[in-house]
Amino acid sequence: MSNTTLESVLDKVNSPDDVKNLSINELNRLADEMREHIMTKVNTTGGHFGPNLGIIEATIALHYVFNSPKDKFVFDVSHQCYPHKMLTGRKEGFTNPEKYHTFTGYTAPEESEHDLFKVGHTSTSVSLAVGVAKARDLKGESGNVIALIGDGSLSGGEAYEGLNNAAVLGSNMIVVVNDNEMSIAPNQGGYYKNLEELRKTNGKAECNLFKAMGFDYLYVEEGNNVEALISAFSKVKDSTHPVVVHIHTEKGHGCDTALANKEGFHWILPGTLDEKAETPSEQCESYTSITTDYILGKAKKDPKVFTISPATPGAYGYTEDFRNKLGKQYVDVGIAEEHAVAFASAAASCGAKPILHVLSSFIQRTYDQLSQDLCLNNSPATILISWGAISGADATHLQVFDIPMMSNIPNLVYLAPTNKEEYLAMLDWSVEQNSYPVAIRVPFGDVVSTGVEDKTDYSVLNKFKMIEKGSDVAIVALGNFFSLGQKVKQALESVTGIKATLINPCYITGIDEKMLEDLKSNHKVVITLEDGVIDGGFGEKITRFYGNSDMKVLNFGARKEFTDRVPLEELYERYHLREDLIVQDIKACL
């Protein structure tokens, strides 16, 4: 791994205190060793690559100058916390392959007193740090509060609100702006020109966003130079007022492959560095390719169609080629989901045909914009929600809350396609219609195709599809869980002989009262299946519909809880999301 002719420096470092005793020469060697380990580990497990390589020197310098945990570091999104973990008692998670999966990829207070918050959504660090500093001041304590934030994260509104308040805190508050000239994808927005101007003038430009916001300001051009960083951080340590330290770092520093492809190496799959990563074959159809093919075709025919990504194009297969082909019909708004919804809403109101693509986890940023900017104005925008599904994800990136969050907002039509043809039909209907705000929960997983064009008229709202008419038991299987519904039907028949009714509801935001009413005549039990949290979700509306009747109703989905890297199979067992368990529950009801 590291230079074998010299004693390892990292071996000697078990806590931040150990960092303080090292010489500059040793600190530099420490950085090299850490870099090697991070590269090897992330290339083995997958994870955030470029952001962590860029922040190694700054992390060493921070721990050298400040005294964590008395001084408190607040990381933003924590894509860049690996070096911090290595210096705070968790290096084995990076040096020992057997412990590669011991620690989360994000800051986690349960792991260490050096981590303050569980963080995985962007643009929160400054706001959180203001709270940390306020508590310190009210308790009459001392110590530095240091918020780290990337230039990419600074486009988010919460960061700005935090800066505006940090500036008037009236006590110690240090904001380290980690400017690696990149968001996940290239930065988008007006303020990036100011960052560029500041870099060009070595921080001397008179017009300075941070000064305009009320901060004192310090620039460090050599953001990957431990010595320069130590000097800068030492200057602001124990500051009695808010100060920004703007450090110019390099995303992927020390790894030529990552430097040559900063976007591709933001987060990598195992083996990417050796070009051994299993990337999906281009021939293989996926809901991603179905979406991008549709958008390219539609945009070519209609100049009013455009697509919007809030800084996560990679998640949707919006490659550089795709973006270039779309030209002005593609807009990356930066990490700014609130703006994205308002922007799409207004454009749709004015006759354009926006398609906004957001992950389930990040649409959480936009409740009020969905409600006020979009739905209250009944703007016919299209919103694609991807990755909406129960998963073994980290607690910060669960994708199970979109149904409760969105589907209780008036006017929204939220659709759950179950296969390729349905998805395309819904998507095209949504783009072409002018009556409703529409969201579509893009199917998750392998493509299911019927091979038959779906000619359903989706403007007849809340009309469920009766797939198979049976009796006694009806299975209402939403979106991703339609296939589970099919399995339940089969298993139920083989166990009990009951030929159940199978329904594809299509609509998340309304119920087909007529169909549900008709079921009463020869059904005793209705079950609902949804790939998300049950509480406040789809199934409960059906239960409410039958509240005054003799129909028994069972709702299946996820519990209201934050799960953290729990294997999917375990969650399915916990939630009874297996055909055998569901059949047992149905039998108990009959």
Shortest CA distance to 542 belongs to which of 554, 559, 524? 554
The interface with a second copy within residues 30-49 (CB under 8 A) comprises none
CA-to-CA dists, residue 344 to 330, 348, 355, 361, 466, angstroms: 12, 6, 7, 19, 34
Binding window for a second copy (CB under 8 A); candidates: 24-32, 161-169, 174-182, 575-583: 161-169
Closest among 287, 247, 243, 7 to 144, alpha carbons compared: 243
User: Looking at 396, 399, 418, 504, which residue binds a second copy (CB under 8 A)?
Assistant: 396
**Per CB under 8 A, does 244 bind a second copy?**
no
In this complex, which beta carbon is closest to a second copy, that of residue 234 or of residue 549? 549
Check residue 279 and report its DSSP letter: P
Of 217 and 322, which has the nearer Cβ to a second copy?
217
Judged by CB, which is closer to a second copy: 175, or 258?
Answer: 175
Determine the Cα–Cα distance for residues 236 and 564; give it in Å rounded to an integer: 37
Taking CB under 8 A as the criterion, the residue among 28, 100, 199, 211 binding a second copy is 211
- Give the nearest distance from C-beta 428 to a second copy in angstroms: 19
Residue 440: beta bridge partners? 384, 415
Residue 455 binds a second copy, judged by CB under 8 A: no
User: Residue 355 or 425: which CB sits closer to a second copy?
Assistant: 355
- Judged by phi (left if over 0) then psi (alpha if -120 to 50, else beta), residue 498 lies in beta
Residues 6+ apart with CB under 8 A from 547: none
Instruction: State in angstroms the smallest separation of the CB of 455 from a second copy.
Output: 29
Distances (CA, A) of 527 to 3, 331, 389, 558, 573: 62, 41, 19, 14, 17
Q: Which stretch binds a second copy (CB under 8 A): 19-27, 246-254, 281-289, 351-359?
A: 351-359
**Nearest-approach distance from CB 8 to a second copy, in angstroms:** 35
Contact yes or no for 430/424 (Cβ under 8 A): no
CA angle 374, 377, 381 (to 5 degrees): 45
Where in 535-564 is the site for a second copy (CB under 8 A)?
Answer: 535-537, 539-541, 543-544, 546-550, 552-555, 560-562
Least separation in angstroms between residue 53's CB and a second copy is 26
Amino acid at 416: A
Q: Considering only residues 82-121, where is the footprint of a second copy by CB under 8 A? A: 109, 116-121
Q: Is 209 in the site for a second copy (CB under 8 A)?
A: yes
Among 29, 262, 339, 420, binds a second copy (CB under 8 A): 339
Asked if 203 touches a second copy (CB under 8 A), the answer is: no
C-beta separation of 557 from 537 below 8 A: yes
**Which member of 304, 465, 487, 576 binds a second copy (CB under 8 A)?**
304
User: In this complex, which beta carbon is closest to a second copy, that of residue 100 or of residue 367?
Assistant: 367
Asked whether position 409 contacts a second copy by CB under 8 A, the answer is: yes
With CB under 8 A as the rule, give the number of residues binding a second copy.
Answer: 123
Q: Count other Cβ atoms within 10 Å, centred on residue 466.
A: 15
Stretch that binds a second copy, among 265-273, 316-324, 466-474, 527-535 (CB under 8 A): 527-535
Q: Judged by CB under 8 A, does residue 158 bind a second copy?
A: yes
Q: Are β-strands 382-386 and 552-558 bridged in parallel, bridged antiparallel, or unpaired?
A: unpaired
Q: Can you give the three-state secondary structure of 115-129, one letter per residue? A: CCCCCCCCCCHHHHH
What radius of gyration, in Å, describes the C-alpha atoms of the chain? Answer: 26
Rounded to 5°, angle at Cα 381 from 380 and 385: 135
Q: Does residue 115 contact residue 109 with C-beta atoms inside 8 Å? A: yes
- Out of 87, 342, 438, 439, point to the residue binding a second copy (CB under 8 A): 342
- 358 touching a second copy, by CB under 8 A: no
Structure tokens at 428: 């095209």
CA distance 206 to 84: 34
- Residues of this chain, 134-153, that bind a second copy according to CB under 8 A: 134-140
What is the rounded CA–CA span in Å between residue 439 and residue 443?
12
CB of 15 to a second copy, least distance (A): 21
Report the site for a second copy in 59-78 (rule: CB under 8 A). Answer: 72, 74
Cα-Cα-Cα-Cα torsion 76, 79, 81, 86, nearest 10 degrees, comes to: 180
Scanning 88-96, 122-130, 480-488, 498-506 for contacts with a second copy by CB under 8 A, the matching segment is 122-130
Residue 357 in the binding site for a second copy (CB under 8 A): no
For a second copy, the binding residue among 401, 423, 436, 482 (CB under 8 A) is 401
Residue 333 is a binding residue for a second copy (CB under 8 A): yes
Q: Which stretch binds a second copy (CB under 8 A): 182-190, 269-277, 491-499, 571-579?
A: 182-190
Q: How far is the CB of 316 from a second copy (least distance, A)?
A: 19
